[in-house]
Amino acid sequence: MDAMKAAVIYEQGGPEVLKIESRPIPTPPAGEVLIRVKAFGLNRSELFTRQGLSPGVIFPRVLGIEAVGLVEEAPGAEFAKGDIVATHGRDGTQFRRRIRRVHLRTGNAGAGDQDRPSMGDLGRHS
């Protein structure tokens, strides 16, 4: 993993200002984690940022405050490599993300089947 793809804007504007770029993968300090993102969302918060309606935003800006994926590195040992996690922004205005473990259940909940699904199972309907 030498580079990552990112949705980036350099200025406010319409959809044409949104660029998909390769970026260096950051090294997480203690207390942060590096996530191999499997899916992320560009939602109303990113729309407002792109339109210039989010106060205090500094450009360029990497978009996407909600994501799911696998932990790659966790220097503070809060998570283990391979943990399935989800992130979300705090009230859409904070730039630091909260990270939570994702506990998934498959099969019939009443049958006690708790096999751990793969990341490919996320979002699939039974």
pLDDT digits (tens, 9 = 90+) for 1-53: 588 998 999 999 999 999 999 999 988 888 888 889 999 888 888 899 899 99
| Structural domains of the chain sorted by starting position, each given as residue range(s) with its CATH number in brackets | 3-105 (3.90.180.10)
Q: Does the pTM exceed 0.75?
A: no
State the Cα–Cα distance between residues 119 and 126, nearest whole angstrom.
15
